[in-house]
Amino acid sequence: MTVFEQAVAALQPPMEAIGFAKVIHDGVFVGGQHGDFTPSVGMNSAIESEDAVCAILPILGVAHRPTLERLAELTGVRGWKTGVVVSLPIGSVMPEEPFARWKFNDGNLAGQARSLTEAVESYGVPWMGRMADLDAMRLELDDGASHHVEYKLPVVLDLLGRTDEARTHVEAQLIRLADATHLKAQQHRAFAERFLRELEDGQ
C-alpha cells in the first residue's frame, strides 16, 4: 500500500465515528444526507518521497442534489452529479492554522488520523452544517471561494426564486466573455444560452 492508501485506511475508523462512513474514489469521505444536502471531506495529497511522507490537505464540500442535477441537464455533463456546490480547504475555517495539513508516514498513521478527524469535527462539521441551506450556499458562492461559480450561482439563484438575479448574472458573464473564443468560453455560452432559454420558457 502507498502511504496515502495507508493514511486513508487509518482515517476510516475515526471518520466513521463522526458520521463519514462512506469512502469513495481518491479518499473522499461522504457523510449522511440531510435532505437534499450531502457533506464530504476530500483528502488532497502530496507525496514527499524523500521521507516517504504523505501530506494531506482536507477539502470540505457540500453537495445539493437539485443544483447538481440541473447543472448536469444544462451542460450535458453527468459529472456534475458527483460533485459539490461549495468547497474550501479546512484551513479556511481554522483561524489559527489557515494552511493546515497533516503529514502521514508509517510511524504516525493513527495519531495523525485522530488529529485530522478532530479538526474536521471541530471546524469542518460546523461549516458543512451551515452550508446545508441553499441561501447560505448562495452567499458562499457570492464570495467566490468555490469553483465554477459562473455555472453554480445562477442555478442556485433560480432555485431560490431569484430569477431576475440569475438572468442578470448569466447575461453579465456573456458580456464578459463576448470576445473570447477558447473552449471554456464556448462551453459557458452553450450553458448560458440554454439557461436563459429555459427561463424565458418558464421552466
Higher pLDDT, 106 or 62: 62
Statement: residue 52 has pLDDT above 70:
yes
Place of cell 495519531: 111
For residue 85, what pLDDT band results from cuts at 50, 70 and 90? very high
What mean pLDDT, rounded, does the chain reach? 93
- Whole-model pTM? 0.92
Q: Nearest Cα to 26, choosing from 54, 51, 48, 52? A: 54
